[in-house]
Chains A and B, each alone.
Chain A
Amino acid sequence: MDQLLLTLILIVISLIISISSLIITIRLNSKLRKITIVCKAYSNLGKKVVESKVRKRYIVFKIIAEDKFSKNTVWESIKSFIVNNVGEIGFVNANPELIYFDEDIQTGVLRITHRYSKFVAGLINLIKEINGKKCLIIPVKITGTLRKAKKTMYALTERKIG
């Protein structure tokens, strides 16, 4: 009986020791982890975070309308439409600019950042009137180079680049 009691007591004590040692190691580990995080944070101070470079895209578009529009009117309407739909922050991030616009053939090239290229290409198709006159702006192509954009622009009307 005495031996049984002794063994039981020994088992209980060993259990207590193992559980307490487990708890102690877990707590120590979490403290260690905090220390390593702090050390890493100090070591990363002064390092520059490099973001991916903002690339440009060129949207070639064509305007179908009863009247011809000037470059300024087209640019003002595109700008106000983008600001109304995407907001000022979206406009600033997209950074659109009307680079070329040929008033004879009513085609142009809009420069935009690569992250917003497809969104703006879809958005300009929603413009249904400029200065109260009916029109339809069709995005024809999105290119990465200005040279290809100009080529596409004039290929639409089979006109040679001078």
Chain B
Amino acid sequence: MRVYVDFWIKRLDTKTLETVMDLGYSVVLCENAVDINSVKGVKDVAVISKVVIESSSRKDLLNKLKGIKSKKVVVSVKPLSLDAARTAAHDTRVDTLIIDSTSVKFMDKHQFNLLKQFSKPIEFPLNVWLKLPLHRKTIVFQKLYAYIHTYKLPFIVSSGASAWNEVFEPRSIVYYISNLFGVIQDYALLSITSYPKEILIKNGFRVQ
């Protein structure tokens, strides 16, 4: 059975969790979980905590990463400077790098080569991208297009949802991503199944 993973939910409350369960997700990674134990069937979905770090310098990033892996968490970094981007790619505590309108200018070919060398995927939060103005959308799209087609590296699609209506149905993500980037549906499916699963297994979680 396929394991669908929503790699980033900003705020998880009871209504969002019920929606996620209805849509067929097995694993959900959230930043802030609010009173979810009262939901029936909460054991059908695995909720894993995630930390998203925004940093504008190498020192700042290293300070924030100190002691972070003492608990079982998944760490994503949104770099706001070139220094932070390079450090995040090198650091073993960082699991993914988030691409959006502010971090896209630090994603160049050197960064992509570093990500390839240290096998770190890029995370693409759909809700964040959809809310951008058109010209910024195209900038992010062009970088991701080059990432996928020229460098052929793995990427993860997450919802970045902060409300119950911002969660996506897994098959809709597959259809949308395959049409947007011109990739086959099997490849788009990997972005919500296999690639996130690999990161969870690397962090010591058992995913069935």
Check B23–A138 contact: CB distance below 8 A.
yes
Q: Would A121 and B165 be within 8 Å (CB), given that A64-B19, A136-B19, A138-B23 are in contact?
A: no
With A122-B179, A126-B130, A138-B172 given, can you name 6 additional A-B contacts, CB distance below 8 Å?
A64-B19, A64-B22, A119-B176, A121-B175, A122-B172, A126-B176
Check B168–A125 contact: CB distance below 8 A.
yes
A residues 45-91 with Cβ under 8 Å of B? 64-65
Q: How far is the CB of A39 from chain B (nearest CB, A)?
A: 39
B residues 135-178 with Cβ under 8 Å of A? 163-169, 171-176, 178
Q: Select B166's contact among A128, A138, A139, beta carbons within 8 Å.
A: A128
Q: Select A118's contact among B130, B163, B164, B179, beta carbons within 8 Å.
A: B179
| Interface membership of A123, Cβ < 8 A | yes
Contacts of B164 in A (CB 8 A): 134, 136
| Interface membership of A102, Cβ < 8 A | no
Check B172–A125 contact: CB distance below 8 A.
yes
What are 15 A-B contacts with C-beta separation under 8 Å?
A64-B19, A64-B22, A64-B165, A65-B165, A118-B185, A119-B175, A122-B171, A122-B176, A124-B172, A129-B165, A134-B165, A138-B23, A138-B169, A139-B169, A139-B171
Contacts of B130 in A (CB 8 A): 126
Q: Which single residue of chain B is at the shortest CB-CB distance from A139?
A: B172
**CA gap between A124 and B176 in the complex, in Å:** 10
Q: How far is the CB of B6 from chain A (nearest CB, A)?
A: 14
**CA gap between A122 and B189 in the complex, in Å:** 13
Check A135–B165 contact: CB distance below 8 A.
yes
1/0 contact string of A101-120 vs chain B (CB within 8 Å): 00000000000000000110
Q: What 10 pairs across the A-B complex have the smallest Cβ distances?
A: A122-B175, A125-B172, A122-B176, A122-B172, A118-B175, A134-B165, A136-B165, A119-B179, A125-B169, A128-B165
**CA gap between A18 and B136 in the complex, in Å:** 64
B residues 159-208 with Cβ under 8 Å of A? 163-169, 171-176, 178-179, 185
Check B163–A134 contact: CB distance below 8 A.
yes
Q: Select A136's contact among B167, B173, B185, beta carbons within 8 Å.
A: B167
**CA gap between A134 and B15 in the complex, in Å:** 13
Q: How far is the CB of B174 from chain A (nearest CB, A)?
A: 7
**CA gap between A121 and B185 in the complex, in Å:** 14
Contacts of A64 in B (CB 8 A): 19, 22, 165
Q: How far is the CB of A83 from chain B (nearest CB, A)?
A: 15
**CA gap between A138 and B172 in the complex, in Å:** 8
1/0 contact string of B108-148 vs chain A (CB within 8 Å): 00000000000000000000001000000000000000000
Q: Which single residue of chain B is at the shortest CB-CB distance from A117?
A: B175
Q: How far is the CB of B137 from chain A (nearest CB, A)?
A: 11
**CA gap between A84 and B179 in the complex, in Å:** 16
Contacts of A124 in B (CB 8 A): 172
Q: How far is the CB of A85 from chain B (nearest CB, A)?
A: 10
**CA gap between A94 and B171 in the complex, in Å:** 19
Contacts of B171 in A (CB 8 A): 121-122, 139
Q: Which single residue of chain A is at the shortest CB-CB distance from B174?
A: A122
